[in-house]
């Protein structure tokens, strides 16, 4: 029997601003998935939060894009929204952009990443959850971990990995339909770089292993402003990455995050800051950020999850957190000038556009 790992997350309201969901919301989400386990819809589930987002990790046998699983996630977020409203929390129901569920959460606000797999004798995997950024935040670390021997020493040292990996990349600006391209390393290396250099436009959707055809990774691709046509919060993506044996090791998958790379997000979704790798259940703070990412490692066996290992809760990452703070402070010192703030096409609030329109009327052409 095949096992499906589904991670679906949403911001349905938070305490003290856009900071974290309340304990009552988390308890409600736990209650909903526990009921689904009791009924046999899920074989196991976990609830976590990263910043203001609740992530549902659900294990089942129904495959990806299953309407029952997606409805469970949607109904859970409707229920946590009701709690948020009853507590007077901020941004209640923020990521639920449609009134009624229609078969799949994709295109409705929540982010989702799913992999269906034949369990290996040991099936280790990592769930990444990021807050205050777009799905392109995974471009750099996923590409580096799967394609660059600087991070993935297995590409040189493990013979079974030498054939490389295939990347499916989505054009997230194409809102009418999924526009995707499939490219391989090593042969298409520069073409992949050409796309991934623009993480607000082209986003890794999945990674498969060339030698076996097995799927190694999946990440969410939704961009909320492309769904609603206006800013309703940043996308705050999730990703699932299988590790070890013919896939990169867990440590190789984590390695690129040590850069604390710059990404677009943070306050009002409109600033470039360095991504900070954080412990599970971390909150949002400085300048409505910084952009954060958590990593939980699990094994799944016959549909049951082990406890999580909190992969960024280790002294090594304290240094990276300090580095991320320093990089963020460094670019924040530049305020709104140049690359510190998003370019016109990615500005998430309309104030600048309105101001420019108003000022445009006051410009005069100087006569020579």
251 CB-side CA count, 13 A: 5
Provide the 10 A C-beta neighbour count for residue 322. Answer: 12
- Residue with Cβ nearer ligand F6R (41 or 130): 130
Strand partners, 314: none
Q: 183, 167 in Cβ contact below 8 A?
A: yes
Catalytic residue status for 234: yes
Q: How far is the CB of 53 from ligand F6R (least distance, A)?
A: 10
* Among 71, 189, 231, 245, the one annotated catalytic: 231
Q: How far is the CB of 208 from ligand F6R (least distance, A)?
A: 31
Mark the segment that binds ligand F6R (CB under 6 A) among 27-35, 180-188, 265-273, 324-332. 265-273
Chosen from Mg ion, ligand F6R, none, partner binding at 44 (C-beta under 5 to 8 Å by type): none
Q: Which two tokens stand for residue 275?
A: 């991504």
Catalytic residue status for 190: no
Size of the site for ligand F6R (CB under 6 A): 9
Q: How far is the CB of 202 from Mg ion (least distance, A)?
A: 22
Residues at the contact surface with Mg ion, assessed by CB under 5 A: 11, 18, 51-53, 131, 233, 236
Q: Contact between 267 and ligand F6R (CB under 6 A)?
A: yes
Q: Which two tokens stand for residue 207?
A: 């990674």
Catalytic residue status for 75: no
* Sheet-wide strand order for 53-60: 44-50, 53-60, 3-10, 111-117
Cβ neighbours of residue 219 under 8 Å, at least 6 residues apart? 113, 128, 135, 138, 142, 203, 204, 205, 206, 237, 238, 239, 240
Chosen from ligand F6R, Mg ion, none, partner binding at 95 (C-beta under 5 to 8 Å by type): none
3-state secondary structure of 352: helix
Q: Contact between 288 and ligand F6R (CB under 6 A)?
A: yes
Residues taking part in catalysis: 11, 231, 234
Chain positions contacting ligand F6R, by CB under 6 A: 17-18, 132, 233-234, 267-269, 288
């Amino acid at each position: 029997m095949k096992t499906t790992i589904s991670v679906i997350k949403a911001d349905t309201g938070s305490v003290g601003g856009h900071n974290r969901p309340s304990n009552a919301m988390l308890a409600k989400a736990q209650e909903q998935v526990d009921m689904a386990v009791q009924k046999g819809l899920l074989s196991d589930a976990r609830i976590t939060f990263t910043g203001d987002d609740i992530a549902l990790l659900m294990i089942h046998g129904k495959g990806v894009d299953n309407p029952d699983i997606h409805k469970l996630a949607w109904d859970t977020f409707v229920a946590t929204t009701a709690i948020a409203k009853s507590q007077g929390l901020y941004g209640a129901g923020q990521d639920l952009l449609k009134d009624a569920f229609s078969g799949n959460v994709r295109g409705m606000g929540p982010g989702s990443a799913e992999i269906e797999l034949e369990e290996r004798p040991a099936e280790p995997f990592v769930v990444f959850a990021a807050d205050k950024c777009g799905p392109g935040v995974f471009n750099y670390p996923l590409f580096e971990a799967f394609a660059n021997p600087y991070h993935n020493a297995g590409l040189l040292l493990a013979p079974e990995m030498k054939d490389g990996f295939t990347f499916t990349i989505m054009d997230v600006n194409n809102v009418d339909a999924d526009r995707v391209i499939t490219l391989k390393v090593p042969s298409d290396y520069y073409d992949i770089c050409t796309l991934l250099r623009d993480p607000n436009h082209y986003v890794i959707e999945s990674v498969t292993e060339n030698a076996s055809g097995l799927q190694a990774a999946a990440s969410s691709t939704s961009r909320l402003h492309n769904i609603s046509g206006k800013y309703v919060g940043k996308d705050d993506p999730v990703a699932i990455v299988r590790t070890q044996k013919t896939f990169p090791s867990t440590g190789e998958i984590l390695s690129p995050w040590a850069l604390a790379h710059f990404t677009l997000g943070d306050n009002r979704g409109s600033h470039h800051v360095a991504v900070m790798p954080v412990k599970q259940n971390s909150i949002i703070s400085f300048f409505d950020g910084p952009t954060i990412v958590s990593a939980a490692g699990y094994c799944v066996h016959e549909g049951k999850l082990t406890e999580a290992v909190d992969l960024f809760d280790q002294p090594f990452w304290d240094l990276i957190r300090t580095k991320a703070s320093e990089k963020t402070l460094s670019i924040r010192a530049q305020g709104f000038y140049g690359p510190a703030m998003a370019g016109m096409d990615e500005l998430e609030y309309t104030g600048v556009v309105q101001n420019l329109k108003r000022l445009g009327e006051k410009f005069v052409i100087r006569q020579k």
